[in-house]
Amino acid sequence: MAKKKLNKSWLHDHINDPYVKLAQKEGYRARAVYKLKEIDEDEKLIKPGQIIVDLGCTPGSWSQYARNKLAGAAGGGINGTIIGLDMLPMEPIADVHFILGDFREQDVLEQLEQLLKGQKVDLVLSDMAPNLSGIAVADAARVQDIIDLAVDFAQHHMKPSGSLLVKCFNGSGYNYLVEKFRQEFKTVTPKKPKASRDKSSEIFLLGKTLKNPL
């Protein structure tokens, strides 16, 4: 019964959420786009000519936003490259290359290398999050695992001057993640955009300029 009440409460909040309404109005696939938009407007992350990789991109609102920021190239299309990767299918987005699969697997990395054509990435975005169990220690380990993967990906594929933006949670294991970012990046900034729900412990970590590029 409690679960039913919770679902009803979530549905009510969701339907009345101003960011949900705005996303529908502006043609974005998820309210999460406004988290990236606010961080981008603060930090000036997305610029024409960049190569951007969106890890865990489905349903695609972050890729949509990046695409809109790079739009306006002569003759249509975009000035730059956007590559989205996810283990879940994604409806196509104009000018966005999508790779279906796990980026830890060789065949997926080979597809990525073909698209990159020997170039390194300017910006790695990750809105990935594990399925949370409610058990703090287990959830912290799952979040750490995903962020370790994103950092490792950035070390292998990103320009030394590039930036990595990841989603994490302010709770058990958060200090470890901040420390990890400080070991790997010259500048580390936690970001809590207004579009993150008040009840959520969600927070984003932005790392700029690799200390130890591979």
Is 40 marked as a binding-site residue?
A: no
Is 139 marked as a binding-site residue?
A: no
CA–CA dist 115, 128 (Å, integer): 22
Is 145 marked as a binding-site residue?
A: no
Q: Is 192 a catalytic residue?
A: no
In DSSP notation, 124-177 reads EEE---PPP-S-HHHHHHHHHHHHHHHHHHHHHHEEEEEEEEEEEESSTTHHHH
CA–CA dist 126, 168 (Å, integer): 10
CA–CA dist 144, 168 (Å, integer): 8
Q: State the catalytic residue, choosing from 35, 37, 69, 167.
A: 167
Is 77 marked as a binding-site residue?
A: no
Q: Which residues contact 35 (CB under 8 A, 6 or more apart)?
A: 127, 193, 195, 196, 204
Is 76 marked as a binding-site residue?
A: no
CA–CA dist 100, 14 (Å, integer): 28
CB contact at 8 A, 116 and 157: yes
- Binding-site members are 60, 62, 86, 102, 127
Residues with catalytic annotation?
167
Binding residues for S-adenosyl-L-methionine: 60, 62, 86, 102, 127
